[in-house]
Amino acid sequence: MKSIVCLNGGTSLTSYNRLLTKYLAGNYQAVVTWEEPDLLELPFIDGTGVNDGNEQLRTFLKQVTEADGIVIATPEYNNGTTASIKNALDWCSYQPYPLKNKPTMIIGASVGQLGTVRAQENVRAVLRSRSLAPQLVDTPEVLIGNADCKFDEDGNIMDQRTKKLLTLSMNALLNLM
């Protein structure tokens, strides 16, 4: 069975991005294993790339290295991604370069009309670094706007277009894997 590691930048347990990844994990559990490490447990990078024995960091890098595919779920705050996503990507930019050529999909949900357009562009700009350079799923883009209207009170996706986008994008990721 293939494995996916999700880098989820949603910091609250009720974030729309966590609901998106919960939907994917549940709907694809027959074909992939799903790990979603807590990015808030990672130390902030200091520019040296040296892991001074931090167990959470070591586990995270091992998970990313061994994964067959990556899902990056980013909210949008002030026209960009979250510090937790940026920090996780920065750690992946050091040897053994665990994201290099790895099939990767970016998704995101926000209450704004444009969804996570700017945050995803921010993530794509970071991923263009030669030390990261994953194999990106470019279409369809999953930019869920007005997220507060797309879920029911139990956190289930009600919007059929959102479900379709997630399915198309996830199938594209699986094809790359």
Pairing between β-strand 103-109 and β-strand 142-144 as defined by DSSP bridges: parallel
Range of the domain at 18: 2-176
Q: What pTM was estimated for this model as a whole? A: 0.96
27-60 pLDDT per residue, tens: 999 999 999 999 999 999 987 777 777 899 999 9
- Which of helix, strand or coil describes residue 138? coil
CATH number for position 153: 3.40.50.360
Tell me how many domains the chain contains: 1
Q: Does pLDDT of 101 surpass 90? A: yes
What is the DSSP code string of 151-166? B-TTS-B--HHHHHHH
Give me the phi and psi of 152, to 5 degrees please. Answer: -85, 180
Query: In whole angstroms, what is the distance from residue 177 CA to residue 167 CA?
Result: 15
Residue 111 to residues 17, 85, 161, Cα–Cα distance (Å): 11, 19, 16
